[in-house]
Structure 1
């Protein structure tokens, strides 16, 4: 009989090595022994208050523990905590029949559980680098474990918030007291938002039921199944001025004053059947310190009011006593829908993982940096050639910019628009001194068609959004300058092809097209245009045409399908894009990028145009960290210390980082990565070009342009 069935003392064992395992190989021709199972007792305590129908659960690498799948966790049962100390912890226990023919790895998680629909929401889960483990030789005498701690005496709690598995996440933002006072004098208001679940009335003889039921927190865990079924809605709040994490809203609501940036975070199992009741509270003008607030007014947000992925609402608030219109208020919303086409489990995560033993990373900006000319050669940004060249010169990561084309292909490109020159193709050689010139066939890029696609005339050029073109159309673009190469024609053909713009993101992960060493990571900056404080769109862009959920889903799907084991990080200047990247998956880290603080025109979004607000947002949403501009860090060197206190990391970028001494200084400050141009050069030689310009050929100029292209290819392939 196996020892673990009746052991009466704790024992510790070592992992069997290869030599030990070889003893079993000699008898491999014998019949496999029958798998023995053991009823293993699990016990865990948590000091975190649980809401409604939140439970502790177990997930692990065997069938009975769900094989790490979030929908198949094993729910534990609450029990009385019999600690000797006067603690406030909550204890959960479970007895699970586990196999003893292998080591069992497992983690604890807090879930929202609907027993009627058998639906599970991952609320929080343990994110230690290595999961807990039950060795084959362990017995059952174990201490009751602590949620988030491998060692009971540890000070750090390794717990992260879950991600959208089956639930939908909705965020409301109420910034700077957005109230329109009709006949009332302005006053300080506190807002409590309650999700409400609509159900059809029950069919009873002579009796009707109220079709709207509140999803209030359960005060007693011994509630009926019907009550629990209505509890799959969790509401949390945070103030971006000072909050470090989301927390449950108090009964009287949270303050929404002129300087408050309140964010409401809802996790909903049934978003299409959920409406929201807004209750406004205030205090009397001469209220005593112990006087409670009184109900001022109320309003509703219907689920049909929320369109697409984001928007803005104006809500009528009625008086709580007379029920007449009192004031109007506005709010902004964001909807994050689960991405079911990818597989995320609870086995491991790198969302916030960083080992202090790691050296700071050298990151190649757009590969080898902004497009520059060195002699007759043009080193082009965001191309396969640039990425491979950065990797050859010992880059730890390469930074790429991605966006979607009209046919939803994820391409690598930096600018939001293509700049088409109105001049004739006869003068393309004059543009080569300042621009990286591209040639476009007139059959697909006529001026009338460009204007019909949403192009706008700006001086001597037409600006057309990248999202107006299909990927096949972008592949027709031909560069007029290359970097020279040597070798046979086949090698040279691939060499020139790798220098074309608009590579696909999936091609970066293709070993046949880009031979990046496996240790080189990729920082994917997801481009999304923003408005600035003057109301203008960023870099001549315009309002995006894509739905935000669809846009982010396409990028994540490519990464999960093709990235394999390669290190990947996501980043963006857009706060909502970062939030979606964080809550649609639980594997890759996310960085919030911020502009230089000294720029005269900042983004209009208050969450990112202020450094403190951005830091609190990144902490609340549990990002990996932030990406700063160099000058910001030099003016506020303590900001990295503040970021570290919020359990985040910092990466730095900017024109100053081309200086090796500056990079060393930033690393001493505590930056875990430095992004800079021309990582392939120590002396930073070359002349930076002003960007791309696209010239359209014609029947009259086609032969001239063709001769220029053929001559360039012949010259660059002949060099060596």
Structure 2
């Protein structure tokens, strides 16, 4: 257990410099500590976190602190103390101001990786009917190939032939989330694994490692409490960062009895300035203030290449026009060019105009060839004559601007993400849909041979983290693995999972997590996402997915063409969904940006005297002795935590529950500002 806070003694919001607490000898749920506070007469802000150490186990390597779980409330804990004062606080981990919120840690170290293994569909195959009729359970255990496992069944080598197991391993325990059950939250595995039935269950295993090249997995198969077979996933069997692998299952008598298919994804750290990426001062990753339904402009003022619209979609002009017409957020699509530049555009392909060799003077017009955005550089996108693959169903807007528009920069397609972040009015929030191509149920692929997910996501995240400023940002994607990557690589901005659900309008995705709303909700809840963006087509037939999302306190958005009909828009507002995304916002009914209205109302109120927080921590025990420096003493329980502070030293006691608060990123001298609320 650690305390991370605004004072240097608590790490100055750097989790790797957080103040360690000590477990009580009499109560394993209680953690205590005493630290010197460097800046008395200033408000001390802090939050608790659970961390553990992993060791790469290489020559000269150091143990690395991994953030396992931490308090991610918007407003951090706070306390005041004066010189010579000792302050004692009793706190419950994860519980603060009447709320409970804990969030899994993000990837911090360059050596740190998260490995996700998924078992679903018809993953288990047996060679003999004898095994097919039984209920099987699956357990996955990580190990380091450099060291002999404690539970190894291999007796071929001498007892002293393998290196001694290190005191600190290079990997974490493997946690399990079962997306097909009622409780999808990651947790420890059973001794005999979890039930897996073909085409019924969906298992996700998660492990962290700081020595990826030496990480392997033992896959154990049980019937009841009896282990009947093993499979091994060695490092060479997972050669890429994303893929699918098949492993033979060997019985305890060394006879092949079947095989198991496993999808895998490796999540790597995002290389950038740690002071931006890793500060615990503030996090909106799990924060949402309940309001009336927010209204989001789809691609700005709406689709322009396949429908009628007032402006070319996904341009700075269209986004700004939606902001002027009162959009609370604007939604737009981001993907990468060949030279790894993030641009705003919806489709994965464009039609490139090619004159070719004319056969005669009466050849009617140039030909068009379809090319992927990923195969064109940013300069090429701006120079070439382009058409939309829909073959100009709407004759009003071409992809390439007309000569009259050439000098109107904000009307141009393919604006750079940085330019959009800096050009559109800051009061309007951004719903950034990260476009990544997926396989379809009919066997086709939106855009095959695409770039690697980690690199793809890193470019977009770096641009947002470096240039978003004070703007409200929500990430979303139809690709659940992209959602996982964004969540694991940073904690500042929230992520919402886009789901299609049952549909007759679109070709559904092959990924079950996007095809089934129940699985989608379970996936979002289990992976710490902010919420789910449902398709209106499904919800107009069955609104029960909204109730399931409410069960896990997930934010709910709705997208779809149905929302362009006023009656449907009002229907979803009546259901109190958190956001609706539709075309041509503000054209039929005038509206004002919710956040602008709130700020105006707040400005009109009398100025209040600053407070420590809206709901202070439990009544502290304050000792005003003769010490010359302030001291903080803290005690934290796994079910309760306690912290005590004094001018020169601080003591904290904490227990294992949940609690958290961050300081304002926008106004460092305040607890929170208008953007935080």
Residue 673 of structure 1: which of 569, 573, 579 is its match?
579
Residue 496 of structure 1: which of 408, 414, 421 is its match?
408
Does structure 2 retain, via aligned residues, the 8 Å contact 1:528–1:544? no
Q: How does 1:128-527 map to 2 (within 5 A)?
A: 128-137=73-82, 140=86, 142-151=88-97, 154=98, 156-166=99-109, 167-183=112-128, 185=130, 186=132, 187-199=134-146, 208-211=160-163, 213=165, 226-227=166-167, 229-230=168-169, 232-242=171-181, 243-258=183-198, 259-283=200-224, 293-320=225-252, 322-342=253-273, 343-356=277-290, 358-371=291-304, 379-420=311-352, 461-477=368-384, 496-510=408-422, 514=423, 516-527=424-435
Does structure 2 retain, via aligned residues, the 8 Å contact 1:629–1:654? yes
Residue 109 of structure 1: which of 44, 49, 53 is its match?
49
Change (3 A) 1:555 1:425: farther
Cα deviations by residue, 1:232-276 (Å, 9 ceiling, x for unpaired): 412100111123310100111111112111111112222221111
Secondary structure at the residue paired with 2:383?
coil
> Gaps spanning 5+ residues in structure 1: where?
1-55, 83-88, 214-225, 284-292, 427-438, 448-460, 484-491, 685-720
Q: Distance in 1 between matches of 2:526 and 2:331?
A: 25
2:64 counterpart residue number: 119
Cα deviations by residue, 1:401-449 (Å, 9 ceiling, x for unpaired): 01111110111110111124679999xxxxxxxxxxxx9xx9xxxx7xx
Q: Distance in 1 between matches of 2:307 and 2:227?
A: 70
Q: How many residues align?
A: 545
Pairwise CA distance, 1:383: 0.7
Secondary structure at the residue paired with 1:662?
helix
1:94 counterpart residue number: 33
1:458 counterpart residue number: none
2:560 counterpart residue number: 654
Does 336-345 or 588-597 show the bigger shift?
A: 336-345
Pairwise CA distance, 1:642: 1.8
Pairwise CA distance, 1:148: 0.8
Does structure 1 retain, via aligned residues, the 8 Å contact 2:171–2:215? no
Does structure 2 retain, via aligned residues, the 8 Å contact 1:236–1:246? yes
Does structure 1 retain, via aligned residues, the 8 Å contact 2:54–2:209? no
Does structure 2 retain, via aligned residues, the 8 Å contact 1:373–1:379? no
Does structure 2 retain, via aligned residues, the 8 Å contact 1:199–1:212? no
Pairwise CA distance, 1:370: 0.5
Pairwise CA distance, 1:528: 1.1
Does structure 2 retain, via aligned residues, the 8 Å contact 1:112–1:232? no
Change (3 A) 1:147 1:231: farther
Change (3 A) 1:628 1:665: same
Secondary structure at the residue paired with 2:562?
helix
Q: Distance in 2 between matches of 1:183 and 1:395?
A: 61
Pairwise CA distance, 1:599: 2.2
Q: Distance in 1 between matches of 2:407 and 2:573?
A: 35
Secondary structure at the residue paired with 1:607?
helix
Root-mean-square deviation (CA, aligned residues, Å) is 2.8
Q: Distance in 1 between matches of 2:356 and 2:269?
A: 49
1:630 counterpart residue number: 536
Change (3 A) 1:275 1:379: same
Q: Distance in 1 between matches of 2:201 and 2:2?
A: 36
Q: TM-score, normalised by structure 2?
A: 0.76
> Gaps spanning 5+ residues in structure 2: where?
56-60, 149-157, 359-364, 388-394, 398-403, 591-677
Q: Distance in 1 between matches of 2:194 and 2:483?
A: 25
Does 617-626 or 117-126 show the bigger shift?
A: 117-126
Does structure 2 retain, via aligned residues, the 8 Å contact 1:366–1:381? yes
Q: Distance in 1 between matches of 2:496 and 2:307?
A: 33
Secondary structure at the residue paired with 2:248?
strand
Does structure 2 retain, via aligned residues, the 8 Å contact 1:372–1:379? no
Q: Which has the higher contact order (CA 8 A, sep 6+)?
A: 2
Does 381-390 or 516-525 show the bigger shift?
A: 516-525
Does structure 1 retain, via aligned residues, the 8 Å contact 2:170–2:211? no
Does structure 2 retain, via aligned residues, the 8 Å contact 1:70–1:165? no
Pairwise CA distance, 1:477: 3.7
Does structure 2 retain, via aligned residues, the 8 Å contact 1:177–1:256? no
Cα deviations by residue, 1:322-347 (Å, 9 ceiling, x for unpaired): 12222111111011111131422211
Does structure 2 retain, via aligned residues, the 8 Å contact 1:385–1:495? no
Q: TM-score, normalised by structure 1?
A: 0.71
Q: Distance in 1 between matches of 2:113 and 2:553?
A: 26
Does structure 1 retain, via aligned residues, the 8 Å contact 2:124–2:259? yes
Secondary structure at the residue paired with 1:340?
coil
Cα deviations by residue, 1:14-43 (Å, 9 ceiling, x for unpaired): xxxxxxxxxxxxxxxxxxxxxxxxxxxxxx
Does structure 2 retain, via aligned residues, the 8 Å contact 1:197–1:212? no
Cα deviations by residue, 1:461-502 (Å, 9 ceiling, x for unpaired): 53211111011101114689989xxxxxxxx97862211111
Change (3 A) 1:150 1:463: same
Q: Distance in 1 between matches of 2:259 and 2:434?
A: 36
Q: Structure 1 residue runs of 4+, over 3 Å off?
A: 137-143, 198-201, 206-209, 372-375, 420-426, 477-483, 492-495
Q: Distance in 2 between matches of 1:393 and 1:495?
A: 24
Q: Distance in 1 between matches of 2:589 and 2:475?
A: 30
Does structure 2 retain, via aligned residues, the 8 Å contact 1:280–1:295? yes
Secondary structure at the residue paired with 1:233?
coil
Pairwise CA distance, 1:366: 0.5
Cα deviations by residue, 1:519-542 (Å, 9 ceiling, x for unpaired): 1111110111111111112xxx33
Pairwise CA distance, 1:636: 1.8
Q: Does 1:74 align with 2:8?
A: no
